């Protein structure tokens, strides 16, 4: 879970509530105190609420819980006088910008904005691969702004420097350059350049001293670039509303050009009675509306209205969760589960344990991978994909264990590897328990894999037969079907598949369905 650090006095100033009282309300925002450090405190927040990654968003929610300010946060949008001229940048094709004016910043406010930026980079930004964020002092920028490519021999003053350096030198001199420059074309990196020709930032690596925000900044330009337009707009919403908590006029200017941000509230039809039934409570229409407003949502005409920064509100069930959180989970009724049978291990699990012990006795090392995997698994079978994955590395429900075993072997940097895994896969809508093994070494053949399958069946007293078959991702004439008490296959992996998974050593794999 993400951990943020805030100043107690800053949270009090933003909420107009004493910190001692705020601590009592933290359960209503699913937040816990991890450590107190004098005037500062570390808080554990949930990953599905990126608006809570800094004091501003946390304070906004707490104001609703404390009835200081309820309902939809006020906002007014208009077109900015700043204009963006965006070229096509293949590795980061989407850019969106907004300006929040009249902000009041101090040292703590700047720390919070930077913390929000970095937390979003680490989580939703996938280490800046998916999205990258920048803040700029509007008073130090001469419009128009250009999203363009520059040369690595161009000079600018990176953040923290007091003199210009060439961009290619920045790559080596700074931690950000060493960590993130591989994400872009280093020779012609994408950048923001203003009308005076000053480089504002090398995206997504490092900004410039020329227009950084300080305690004197009153008008802030936000930019978000990335590979996914929805993620770009979602994160811009989070940032806009965070800055509005530091501004008195509640106005935001949308910069046109690029993937122009569209500010939209989301309306969800919600049946208050269905919410009551789901939570096991009886809520009057007035009480339901009151709890919705405390959650900083709106309610009109039977529809709940969610602001754009609430990216976790997708259906009426999410609204029900917010209502439960505002009530307090301890207020929900409790009852003993209606279970009349004793618990015992399922037969398939007992069998899986025997398979594990047999493979370990044969010298295999067990690994345990996630049920979610990446699209490489589609090389083997038809996978089910996640509609809104939190990471590109985990965007599919695995239908086979083989690709993950090969990927694991590729990280071990050994010429001889014997691995196995017993776990769940999903095929044609059914969840199956599967055992997979891998042998990777020079000179390994199908015979080695069949020997493992035969020994396993003999040790477990199973009736198994092998026959020749063809598998699309295996070498031709180097695969066998296993039938009998268990079913599956053994095959020599094609070098094309091994290359995709970063493994260059001959490999035999087997996969057996246990139940």
Residue among 374, 376, 460 nearest 422 (CA): 460
Q: Is residue 192, in this structure, part of any structural domain at all? A: yes
Shared domain for 357 and 505, answered yes or no, is yes
Per-residue pLDDT, 186: 95
User: What element of type H or E holds 68?
Assistant: none
Rg (CA), the chain: 28
**In CATH, what number is assigned to the domain containing residue 126?**
3.50.40.10
In eight-state DSSP terms, residue 443 is T
Q: In the structure encoding, which two tokens stand for residue 90, read together?
A: 């293949």
Q: Is residue 339 part of a domain?
A: no
Do 188 and 150 touch, CB atoms closer than 8 A?
Answer: yes
Contact 38, 91 (CB under 8 A): no
* 50 plus 185 within the same structural domain: no
Transcribe 397-455 into DSSP letters: E-S-SHHHHHHHHHTS--S-EEEEEEEEEEETTEEEEEEEEEEESTT--HHHHHHHHHH
Based on the domain organization, do 363 and 300 belong to the same domain? no
Does residue 246 sit within a domain?
A: yes
CATH of the domain at 476: 3.30.930.10
Q: 150 in helix, strand or coil?
A: coil
**pLDDT value at position 336?**
73
What is the full per-residue pLDDT of the chain (515 aa) written as tens digits? 789 999 999 999 999 999 999 998 988 888 889 999 899 999 999 999 999 999 999 999 999 999 999 999 999 999 999 999 999 999 999 999 999 999 999 999 999 999 999 999 999 999 999 999 999 999 999 999 999 999 999 999 999 999 999 999 999 999 999 999 999 999 999 999 999 999 999 999 999 999 999 999 999 999 999 999 999 999 999 999 999 999 988 899 999 998 899 999 999 999 999 999 999 999 999 999 999 999 999 998 889 999 999 999 999 999 999 999 999 888 888 777 777 777 788 888 999 999 999 999 999 999 999 999 888 888 888 888 888 887 778 888 999 999 999 999 998 878 899 999 999 999 988 999 999 999 999 999 999 999 999 999 999 999 999 999 998 889 999 999 999 999 999 999 999 999 889 898 999 999 999 88
Both 98 and 203 in a single domain? yes
Counting the structural domains of the chain, the total is 4
Do 96 and 235 belong together in one domain? yes
DSSP, collapsed to helix, strand or coil, labels residue 245 as: coil
Residue 180 lies in a domain: yes
Question: CA-to-CA distance for 133 and 225, rounded, in angstroms?
Answer: 7
- Domain edge (last residue) among 65, 87, 108: 65
Query: Contact, 409 vs 440, CB < 8 A?
Result: yes
Contacts of 419 by beta carbon, 8 Å cutoff, 6+ apart? 364, 365, 366, 367, 405, 408, 409, 437, 438, 440
Last residue of a domain, one of 277, 296, 330: 330
Cis before 485? omega within 30: no
Q: Is residue 338 assigned to a domain?
A: no
Q: What are phi and psi of 408, to 5 degrees?
A: -65, -45
CA distance 270 to 259: 31
Q: 432 and 351 in contact (C-beta within 8 Å)?
A: no
Pairing of β 417-427 and β 365-366: parallel
Cα separation, 451 vs 44, whole angstroms? 51
Alpha-carbon span 507 to 482, nearest angstrom: 18
> Which strands sit side by side in the sheet containing 474-484, from one edge to the other?
365-366, 417-427, 430-440, 507-513, 487-493, 474-484, 464-469
Residues 140, 252 within the same domain: yes
Do 37 and 87 fall within a single domain?
no
- Is 322 within 8 Å of 313 (Cβ atoms)? yes
Q: Is 308 left (phi over 0), alpha (psi -120 to 50) or beta?
A: alpha
Strand ranges in 237-377 using DSSP code E only, listed in sequence order: 251-256, 266-269, 298-300, 303-306, 365-366, 372-373
Beta bridge partners of 37: 40
Q: How far apart are CA 108 and CA 215, in angstroms?
A: 9
Does 237 share its domain with 310? no
Return the half-sphere exposure (C-beta side, CA atoms, 13 A cut-off) of residue 370: 11
435 domain-assigned: yes
Residue 383 and residue 412 share a domain: yes
Dist CA 70 CA 49 (whole Å): 18
DSSP state of 506: -
Phi, psi of 413 (to 5 degrees): 55, 45
pTM value? Answer: 0.71
Domain termination site, one of 209, 231, 256: 256
pLDDT of res. 28: 82
Tokens of 364: 């295999």
**Residue 148 is encoded by which pair of tokens?**
């363009």
CA distances from 94 to 124, 131, 264 (A): 15, 9, 19
Sequence-ordered list of residues with C-beta below 8 angstroms from that of 173, at least 6 positions apart, any chain? 158, 165
Which of 402, 435, 438 has its CA nearest to residue 418? Answer: 438
Say if residue 206 is in the same domain as residue 179: yes
149 and 297 fall within a common domain: no
* 318 and 352 fall within a common domain: no
The CATH number assigned to the domain holding 14 equals 3.30.56.10
Question: Beta strand pairing status for 3-7 and 76-86?
Answer: unpaired
pLDDT of residue 199: 97
What is the residue range of 144's domain? 76-256
52 domain residue, yes or no: yes
Q: Which residues contact 88 (CB under 8 A, 6 or more apart)?
A: none
- Residue 261 domain-assigned (yes or no): no
Give pLDDT, residue 414: 81
């Amino acid at each position: 879970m993400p951990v943020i650090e805030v100043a107690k006095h800053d949270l009090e100033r933003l909420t107009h509530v004493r910190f001692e009282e705020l601590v009592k309300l933290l359960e209503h925002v699913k937040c816990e105190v991890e450590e107190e450090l004098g005037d500062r405190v570390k808080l554990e927040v949930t990953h599905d609420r990126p608006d809570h990654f800094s004091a501003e968003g946390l304070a906004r929610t707490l104001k609703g819980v404390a009835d200081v300010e309820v309902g939809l946060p006020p906002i007014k949008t208009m077109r900015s006088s700043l204009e963006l001229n965006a070229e096509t940048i293949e590795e980061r094709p989407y850019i969106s910008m907004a300006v929040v004016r009249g902000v009041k910043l101090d040292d703590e406010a700047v720390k919070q904005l930077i913390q929000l930026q970095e937390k979003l980079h680490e989580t939703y930004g996938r280490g800046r691969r998916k999205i990258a964020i920048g803040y700029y002092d509007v008073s130090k920028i001469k419009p128009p702004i250009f999203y363009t490519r520059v040369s690595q021999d161009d000079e600018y003053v990176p953040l923290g420097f007091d003199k210009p350096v060439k961009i290619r030198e920045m790559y080596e001199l700074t931690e950000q350059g060493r960590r993130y420059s591989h994400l872009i074309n280093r020779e012609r990196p994408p950048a923001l350049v203003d009308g005076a020709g000053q480089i504002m930032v090398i995206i997504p690596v490092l900004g410039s001293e020329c227009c950084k925000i300080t305690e004197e900044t009153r008008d802030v330009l936000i930019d978000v670039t990335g590979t996914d337009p929805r993620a770009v707009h979602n994160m811009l919403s989070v940032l806009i509303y965070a800055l509005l908590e530091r501004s008195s006029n509640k106005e935001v200017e949308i910069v046109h050009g690029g993937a122009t941000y569209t500010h939209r509230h989301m309306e969800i039809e919600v049946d208050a009675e269905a919410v009551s039934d789901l939570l096991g409570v009886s809520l009057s229409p007035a009480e339901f509306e009151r709890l919705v407003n405390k959650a900083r949502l709106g309610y009109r005409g039977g529809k709940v209205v969610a602001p754009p920064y609430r990216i976790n509100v997708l259906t009426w069930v999410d609204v029900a969760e917010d209502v439960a959180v505002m009530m307090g989970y301890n207020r929900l009724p409790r009852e003993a589960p209606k279970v009349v049978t004793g618990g015992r291990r399922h037969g398939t699990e007992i069998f899986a344990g025997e398979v594990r012990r047999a493979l370990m006795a044969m010298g295999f090392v067990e690994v345990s991978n996630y049920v979610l995997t990446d699209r490489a698994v589609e090389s083997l079978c038809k996978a089910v994909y996640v509609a809104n994955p939190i990471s590109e590395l985990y965007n599919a429900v695995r239908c086979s264990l083989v690709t993950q075993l090969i990927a694991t072997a590729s990280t071990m940097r050994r010429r001889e590897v014997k691995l196995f895994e017993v776990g769940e896969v999903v095929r044609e809508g059914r969840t199956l328990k599967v055992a997979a093994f891998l042998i990777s070494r020079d000179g390994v053949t199908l015979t080695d894999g069949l020997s493992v399958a035969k020994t396993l069946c003999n040790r477990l007293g199973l009736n198994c037969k092998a026959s020749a078959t063809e598998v699309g991702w295996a070498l031709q004439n180097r695969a066998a079907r296993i039938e009998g008490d268990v079913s599956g296959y053994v095959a020599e992996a094609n070098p094309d598949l091994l290359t995709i998974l970063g493994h260059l050593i001959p490999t035999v794999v087997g996969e057996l369905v246990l139940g």
